[in-house]
């Protein structure tokens, strides 16, 4: 009988211990103060990647200017780091995003915006005057980040969440998502933030789209460059992000500061971009046999707001220019391509072998950024172009390229279909001068 009672006591004790262990594990997955996997006392630092910077680059290293709240770090005029923040998808409305373009023709831009409410982001913050974090210091934020910080709510009690994302995640609100130039400003911004936290090349970072844009061919580039990409609309359950960065807005990108004399991490970004697409070799310049590439602009449907696909700044006499250039410079390899007909890797393959790039002002000229140092650029403008369009002149300056622009001044060379006639003699003159420049 005594032995029987002893066994009963042992079993009861074991049952109690099992329940305590189970309860502790359950609470630890709800309580940020006890969940050591997510908030452990020895939290892992960001993984340090091999240094991919180029020694001649200007390093990008913003400093923290505010950390009154341990989970919120504001970097001046750059980005905000939110630690241990929960995204509650029930606090936002948005299109699903990623739809086939043909299914959303005519869709207005506002329908593609994520519309969050206060509490979309919930975070624990021991700073008494929490509002000061988002209001008083908003002067240090760009306009888009300031708007996102307005939907950050303080959680006084226990953070509740169903899923956890431990990988550094950079949130991006895309604007001109289907335009190569504007997409490049976003890619460059994410690259800068990733470099600051050394989460680059072989290291994993995630990207979170805070928008509901339909699918674009440029979408694939995000995962090629950075890793896992998620749309906000795909978040179904309250999800804890250990490190979430509200990144630079595209319009506030250093890449968009065209008057700046230099660009941080310019060569590093170029090398990173090409390496991620499989290009590592350096082009050897042969001045007896240069590669010259014309970029053509044709009508195409890029987004729902332009169903006709009509665009401006086209060249009226493409074939004439190409044939005459080949006749004028028979020793050089001269081609013309419509870049949007190729995937980005195929485009980069052409650019990586190009010594002189020629094209009308447009997003395709963003490939200037990926030319070898010392290459030549000839940018063409119609008569109605604005003098403020210096995007690619700035890129050429940052990348140490030889840049020349030409603008039509004759009204009769402009046509109603948005094209411009360019005299072959003009191209002959521009190419001859460019060859002399890059080869002397």
Given this model, what pLDDT does residue 36 score? 28
CA angle 368, 372, 375 (to 5 degrees): 70
Write the pLDDT tens digit of every residue in 125-163: 877 666 665 565 565 666 777 788 889 988 888 999 999
Domain 282-438 - what CATH class? alpha beta
Residue ranges for the chain with pLDDT beneath 70: 1-55, 65, 128-142, 198-203
DSSP code per residue over 78-136: S-EEEEEEEE-GGGEE-------GGGSTT--GGGGB-EE-TTSEEE----SSHHHHHTT
Q: Token pair for residue 236?
A: 């179904």
Q: Kindly report, as residue ranges, where domains of CATH 3.40.50.2300 are found in the chain.
A: 282-438
Given this model, what pLDDT does residue 135 score? 60
Give the CB-side neighbour count of residue 276, counting CA atoms within 13 A. 23
* Cβ atoms 354, 291 nearer than 8 A: yes
Given this model, what pLDDT does residue 201 score? 43
* Cβ atoms 145, 343 nearer than 8 A: no
Give the Cα separation of 309 and 315 in Å (integer).
16
Nearest Cα residue to 215 out of 140, 317, 119, 301? 301
Q: What are phi and psi of 338, to 5 degrees?
A: -90, 105
Given this model, what pLDDT does residue 47 score? 35
Q: Token pair for residue 277?
A: 């697409």
Given this model, what pLDDT does residue 43 score? 32
Given this model, what pLDDT does residue 185 score? 96
Enter the pTM of the model: 0.85
Give the Cα separation of 436 and 440 in Å (integer).
6
Given this model, what pLDDT does residue 40 score? 29
């Amino acid at each position: 009988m005594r032995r029987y009672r002893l066994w009963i006591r042992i079993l009861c004790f074991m049952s109690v211990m099992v329940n305590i262990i189970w309860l502790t594990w359950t609470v630890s997955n709800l309580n940020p103060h006890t969940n050591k996997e997510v908030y452990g006392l020895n939290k892992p630092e960001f993984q340090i990647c091999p240094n991919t910077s180029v020694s001649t680059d200007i390093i990008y290293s913003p400093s923290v200017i505010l950390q009154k709240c341990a989970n919120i770090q504001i970097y001046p005029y750059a980005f905000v780091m939110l630690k241990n923040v929960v995204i509650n998808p029930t606090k936002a409305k948005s299109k699903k995003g990623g739809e086939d373009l043909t299914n959303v023709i005519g869709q207005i831009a506002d329908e593609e915006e994520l519309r969050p409410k206060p509490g979309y982001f919930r975070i624990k913050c021991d700073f008494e005057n929490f509002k000061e974090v988002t209001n008083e210091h908003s002067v240090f934020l760009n306009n888009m980040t300031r708007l996102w910080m307005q939907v950050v709510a303080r959680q006084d009690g226990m953070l509740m969440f169903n899923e956890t994302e431990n990988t550094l995640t950079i949130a991006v609100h895309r604007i001109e998502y289907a335009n190569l130039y504007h997409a490049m400003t976003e890619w460059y911004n994410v690259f800068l933030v990733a470099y600051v936290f050394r989460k680059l090349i072989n290291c994993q970072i995630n990207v979170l789209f805070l928008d509901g844009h339909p699918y674009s061919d440029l979408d694939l580039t995000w995962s090629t460059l950075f890793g896992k990409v998620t749309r906000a609309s795909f978040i179904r359950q309250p999800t804890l992000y250990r490190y979430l960065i509200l990144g630079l807005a595209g319009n506030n990108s250093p890449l968009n500061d065209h008057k700046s004399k230099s660009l941080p991490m310019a060569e590093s970004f170029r090398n990173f971009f090409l390496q991620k697409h499989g290009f590592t070799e350096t082009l050897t310049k042969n001045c007896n046999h240069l590669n010259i590439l014309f970029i053509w602009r044709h009508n195409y449907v890029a987004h729902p707001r332009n169903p006709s696909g009509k665009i401006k700044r086209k060249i009226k006499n493409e074939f004439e220019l190409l044939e005459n250039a080949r006749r004028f410079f028979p020793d050089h390899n001269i081609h013309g391509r419509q870049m949007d007909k190729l995937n980005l890797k195929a485009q980069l393959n052409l650019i990586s072998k190009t010594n002189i790039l020629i094209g009308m002002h447009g997003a395709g000229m963003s490939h200037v950024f990926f030319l070898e140092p010392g290459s030549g650029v000839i940018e063409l403008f119609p008569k109605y172009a604005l003098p403020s369009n210096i995007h690619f002149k700035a890129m050429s300056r940052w990348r140490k390229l030889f840049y020349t622009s030409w603008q039509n001044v004759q009204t009769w060379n402009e046509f109603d279909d948005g094209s411009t006639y360019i005299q072959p003699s003009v191209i002959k003159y521009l190419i001859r001068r460019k060859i002399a420049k890059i080869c002397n």
